[in-house]
Structure 1
């Protein structure tokens, strides 16, 4: 009996594995770009402009190094002058005590110069070298005017030292030398370096405003303290140190308000001791003696 032989079945072919899908990795730059509130195109445009600006700066620096910008600026100034932008007039205001001749000599040096070539800051700094000028404003008034406004210092006292007299302002700046008696009613500060103490002295007197108007002068003693002179002839010796001097001055102002110390027979007040006050009276003047012979001769001359 013939037997049927089973053909071996072919093995099922295994399915070929599908190729792995590549995963795109996002760089930190892309992550940063996605967090910005701008599109990628806008960012690229900004980067382009920054790059162009950097190139422009480098080109300008190279041209300046080579001296090309100075030449171009000179040509520009020459063209501006031809177009009428040239200093033809100078207007100076605010001068009362300043030497006008010196100011005009300085400012008129810019006359006939092209407006772009006028160094405003240099003109201002040159003006500030004069003691009377506290500040100055310089401006171009196109097309052809240079305007200068002077702000003067105000004299507040006369500084006397070693036989010299000078007007000074509230900051102690020397304004001009004067002769004795030319300061008018201004108070006189005596002593070397007294002008450097002007600000501190004004601050001290401001604490006793009732007395400040009566002060006619002050002496800086030993480079450490003040003696105040009053219009009625008295002298007040104050202690060293700002706090101690202010306290003594206030105490004196209270005593003067109660007892009327100024304008009497007292000539010197010493408040250097914080616990005691010393007053000195004016010396008494004796009446002039008249000889009896003079009296008799006068009587004889009056008889008929």
Structure 2
């Protein structure tokens, strides 16, 4: 028997045509915009929003800077008006009150070292109020006020918790009295003025006369103190012309010392007082400014015979 096969029709044409049609449809679909997107692009509100957004993107740094300037200006105005300061002060005051109520209020001030500075003066200079919070005490400011007191050379202020303040004072040491044409003062060894008050209690201190005397007196007075006969008879130390010293002795006798070599002439004056009894004579002046001789001036104003000296000792 013969086999009969049914021949299949070629499908190439239809496939190609189908694919071409599909591509055409797809291409047409790709080229055809959606109706909604097209409508958004044409919407005036959408265009306005996009314009604002683009403007903000471009102007963002400038806007931030403007906002910062406005904020700083507002803060400066608040500070200038005192609003911030008053608020902070009220808050701090309230906090200090809480601390004081909790047992941290100043109750005692322990003071030491004040001999000539009254206690009431020290307390006033500290500036504390009873019950004030110990944490609010300004220690540097309190110390500065103490240092401004005339007799205070050094001061220390510290807290001792929970409620004590410790104050230690070192006072200046009076060295001499300095008399000027206008006033009198108590001075330190360095020559610094301490005070011009209450001088009666310092009558036993050496008396200095002349400009520059306080700054130059310490070594000279120490040397004079080493000569007991002279020191016992000195009434005042006079600094003359900013260069040398005169000793004003008892009974108005003036001993004139040289600018240099005065230590040796102090030995000579001691010898004249002790061994020669020169102060018992009728003289008002002993001139020791020459390194080799000395002479006296009598009360009549006539100088006596000059006496030669050898190694500072009268012959």
**Is residue 250 of structure 1 aligned with residue 262 of structure 2?**
no
Q: TM-score, normalised by structure 1?
A: 0.57
- Is the contact made by 1:189 and 1:217 (CA closer than 8 Å) also made in structure 2? yes
Match of 1:281 among 298, 301, 307: 298
Q: Give the equivalent residue in structure 2 for 1:194.
A: 213
Any residues of structure 2 matched to 1:198-277 within 5 Å, and which? Answer: 198-241=217-260, 244-277=261-294
Q: CA, structure 1 residues 217+88, in 2 after alignment: closer, same or farther (shift >3 Å)?
A: same
Deviation at 1:152, TM superposition (A): 2.5
**Is residue 161 of structure 1 aligned with residue 186 of structure 2?**
no
**Structure-2 separation of matches of 1:202 and 1:282:** 27
Any residues of structure 2 matched to 1:56-75 within 5 Å, and which? Answer: none
Query: Is the partner of 1:84 in helix, strand or coil?
Result: helix
Match of 2:189 among 161, 170, 182: 170
Q: TM-score, normalised by structure 2?
A: 0.56
Q: Give the equivalent residue in structure 2 for 1:45.
A: none
**Structure-2 separation of matches of 1:126 and 1:180:** 24
- Is the contact made by 1:90 and 1:111 (CA closer than 8 Å) also made in structure 2? no
- Is the contact made by 2:283 and 2:296 (CA closer than 8 Å) also made in structure 1? yes
Deviation at 1:110, TM superposition (A): 6.4
Query: Is the partner of 2:278 in helix, strand or coil?
Result: coil
Q: Give the equivalent residue in structure 2 for 1:127.
A: 146
Deviation at 1:165, TM superposition (A): 1.3
**Structure-2 separation of matches of 1:179 and 1:101:** 17
Q: Give the equivalent residue in structure 1 for 2:30.
A: none
Q: CA, structure 1 residues 236+115, in 2 after alignment: closer, same or farther (shift >3 Å)?
A: same
- Is the contact made by 2:126 and 2:143 (CA closer than 8 Å) also made in structure 1? no
Deviation at 1:269, TM superposition (A): 1.1
Question: Which ranges of structure 1 fall in alignment gaps of 5 or more residues?
Answer: 1-73, 285-304
Aligned residues: 210
Query: Is the partner of 2:169 in helix, strand or coil?
Result: strand
Match of 2:204 among 185, 205, 209: 185
* Deviation digits for residues 12-36 of structure 1 (CA, Å, limit 9, x no counterpart): xxxxxxxxxxxxxxxxxxxxxxxxx
Cα RMSD (Å) = 3.4
**Structure-1 separation of matches of 2:170 and 2:232:** 26
